[in-house]
Structure 1
Amino acid sequence: MENADDLFNPSLAAALIKLDPEDGEQIVEYFKTHALLTREKALLQSSIRDQKKLLVENGKLKKDIEQLKVQLQDKQRRRTAKALFAPAPPPQTTSPAPKSPVDQPAFPAGATAAVPGNISPPLSHDRKGRRKGERKARPTSDSFTLEAELSVDVSRLDLRVGRVLNIRRHPLARTMSVQEVDMGEDAPRTVVSKLEEQTDFEEIQGSLAVLLCNIKACRVRGVVSQARILCCAYSEDSSELLTPPTGSNPGDRVTFLNYPGDPDKELQSKQRVWELLQPDLQVDGRGVANYKGCGFEVKGKGLCRAPTLTNCGIR
Structure 2
Amino acid sequence: MGQLDGRVAVISGAGRGIGREHALLFAREGASVVVNDLGGSNGGEGADVGPAQGVVDEIRAAGGTAVANTENIGTWAGAGSLVQQAIDEFGRLDVLVNNAGILRDGFIATLSEADWDAVITVHLKGHFLLLRHAAEYWKAQSKAGDQPIASVINTASGSGTTIPNAGQVNYGSAKAGIAAMTLVAADELERYGVRVNAIAPIARTRLTLATPGMGALMSEPEDGEVDLFAPANISPLVAYLATEKCPITGRVYAVQGGAISQLAGWHDVETIETDDVWQIDDIAERLPLLGRERSDRGIA
> What TM-score range do you get, normalising by the shorter chain?
under 0.3
More strand, by proportion: 1
- Structure with bigger RCO (C-alpha 8 Å, 6+ apart): 2
Larger Rg: 1
TM-score (norm 1): 0.19
More helix, by proportion: 2
